[in-house]
Structure 1
Amino acid sequence: MNFSLGFITTAEIPSKEFGWILSVLASILICIIVYEVTGVVSSILYKGYAKLDSAHKLEWNNRGISTFHALFVAVASVYILIVSDLFKEGSKNDLITYRRSILSDTALGISLGYFVSDLAMILWKFPALGGMEYVLHHGLSMFSIIQSLVIGQAQFYVLMVLFTETTTPFVNLRWYLDIAGQKKSKMYTCNGIALFLGWLAARILWFVFFFHHLFSHFDQVQKMHPLCFYSILIIPPVLTVMNVFWFWKITKGIIKTLTKAKHSA
């Protein structure tokens, strides 16, 4: 029995390629475990955790999950994109846009499981854990990962975009310090500077390289499945606009923080 899935049918997809579904399910389970562990560890290491209301505890634990995912996807992306031979120029005869491996499928599946879990929590407590911009960001990310896994193309570019999640730990630490009443601390200021520099490198300059690589390999990009081709032309620019908007807010925040620190010195 065959059924249609967007622009393709199941007849075009080898059954063995559905193995990544296991990594998605495992990732959802891991997210639940990390959520609970974050609460337990936080209650031991930070006395103020017990005094937080239920809404703040929910977000506190939720940010523990996003930090865990960010660290995982950063390491996985660096290894797959740079260390391994999967996407190295000239290492294989096939197009770079067609390359995939069990490891890349697993990494993308785990990331997909995170976005599914986090989006579910965002919608459940909407807008406590984030507004429509987070729904849009997660929705686009999930769509990109799903089509890349199902069709088996564009994984190089999807992993490049996922690498930008490396800025998430700085964002979360900023929130933790704020909740802990440490906005005037040196750690808060240093983290703000790190967030500014990290965002500039990972979400602005990295995207410049992303588009440079995309258009310098456009002959290969054009040969992708139509769904992948049009997705890669639409989704990254939308994410870039969002990143620039957030970078503008981060820049305003760091200027404000440094100005206050200068006057109080």
Structure 2
Amino acid sequence: MHDPIPPPSASLIKATQPLASVLALRTLPFHAHEILPAFCFYEFVNSFVSPYVSTRLFPQTYPQLSRKKKINWNIHFVSMIQSCFINSAALWVIFADRERRSMDATQRVWGYTGASGMVQGFAAGYFAWDLMASIKDVDVHGWGALIHAASALVVTSLGFRPFVNYYGINFILYELSTPFLNIHWFMDKVGMTGTRAQLINGITLLATFGGSRLVWGVYQSVNMYRDIWHAYSLRGEDPVPPWLAVAYVASNTVLNVLNFYWFGRMVTTVKKRFDKPEAESAKKKR
């Protein structure tokens, strides 16, 4: 299936070709017109759209936040937009791309379609921006967020080799839980902590996070490891370089470990939101 977006200009392809050659990312120049605009768009949303919209929708909340909390708010605002968009794009390609669906084990490792490359391009643009933001404000986001952004960018970028581009789209669906995570965070900041709406959203968050990242994510990882091993063991004309397999598997494994760690923290956090009122009520009865 072809990339539905018109191809980049010859000048942009020529400008990005040296970098693509150095990194051995052959299809990167053909999606530079999706990577660069995505990076710029999310920076624009973070720096201008979020402060403007948030001030007008929540005039009693956003302007009163500290610098660090505003940075966090803006990051969640960007994440909300990105996750809704990239989930829709990935699901569309998964269901509409017949060429992708017909791939065998070897093609799932080395195969490529323009539509999949498009999703990878938009995702790479976001993760590049996310990495920049994580480095810039590591004191706010923490080292876990920085490691996640770096690992996600590595995994996404290797899709332009192309390498396991097929699975790259499947892993995009990790983001299915992200809108509910952002909603939960915003509810805390606008005085909706412990409400029935937050409880419903919290349950949905845990269900989608567990389903998309822990169940679906681990299942796809196991399938990917199997296909990589199959391609590596063939040792034909185009074998999988050991360093490439190790780099991708290591990055993917880091993401899976972080997902289990964050799921545990989410369970604890959501539980605290609703344990506290019960504890206070018990004290009053005494």
TM-score of the pair, normalised by structure 1 = 0.84
Q: Deviations over 1:21-50 (max 9, x none)?
A: 222111112112322222222222222223
Q: Deviations over 1:38-75 (max 9, x none)?
A: 22222222222233233322221221111111112211
In structure 2, the residue matched to 1:197 is: 207
Could you say which residue in structure 1 is the equivalent of 2:147?
Answer: 136
1:229 maps to 2:239: no
- Is 1:253 paired with 2:269? yes
Deviations 1:171-207 (A, max 9, x none): 2112211111221222221121111111110111112
Change (3 A) 1:182 1:247: same
Taking structure 1 as reference, are residues 17 and 236 closer, same or farther at Cα in structure 2, changes over 3 Å only? closer
**Whole-angstrom distance in 1 between the partners of 2:150 and 2:34:** 19
CA distance in 2, matches of 1:144, 1:212: 15
Deviation at 1:215, TM superposition (A): 4.9
Moved more, 134-143 or 34-43: 34-43
Gapped regions of structure 2 (runs ≥ 5): 1-17, 234-238
For each residue in 1:112-155, what CA deviation from the matched residue of structure 2 results, as whole angstroms up to 9, or x when unmatched? 11112122122222211x11111111111111222221x11211
33, 37, 40: which one aligns with 2:49: 37
**1:66 pairs with one of 74, 79, 90:** 79
Q: Does 1:83 align with 2:83?
A: no
Backbone CA RMSD of aligned residues: 2.9
Structure 1: runs of 5 or more not aligned: none
Correspondence 1:26-175 to 2 at 5 A? 26-35=37-46, 36-48=48-60, 49-89=62-102, 95-128=107-140, 130-149=141-160, 151-175=161-185
Q: Cα gap change, 1:192/1:226 in structure 2, threshold over 3 Å: closer, same or farther?
A: same
- Contact 2:231 2:240 survives alignment (8 Å): yes
| Distance in 2 (alpha carbons) for counterparts of 1:193 and 1:12 | 43
* Helix, strand or coil at the partner of 1:47: coil
Aligned length in residues? 256
Alpha-carbon offset, residue 159 of structure 1: 1.9
Partner AA of 1:86 in structure 2:
E
- Return the TM-score normalized by structure 2: 0.78
Query: Quick one: distance in 2 between partners of 1:144 and 1:208?
Result: 15
Sequence identity (%): 20
The partner residue of 1:238 within 254, 266, 269 is 254
CA contact (8 A) 2:50 2:74 kept: yes
> Within 1, Cα distance between the matches of 2:45 and 2:204?
25
Q: Alpha-carbon deviation of 1:259?
A: 3.6
Pairing 1:184–2:194 present: yes
Cα deviation, residue 230, structure 1: 2.2
Residue 34 of structure 2 corresponds to which residue in structure 1? 23
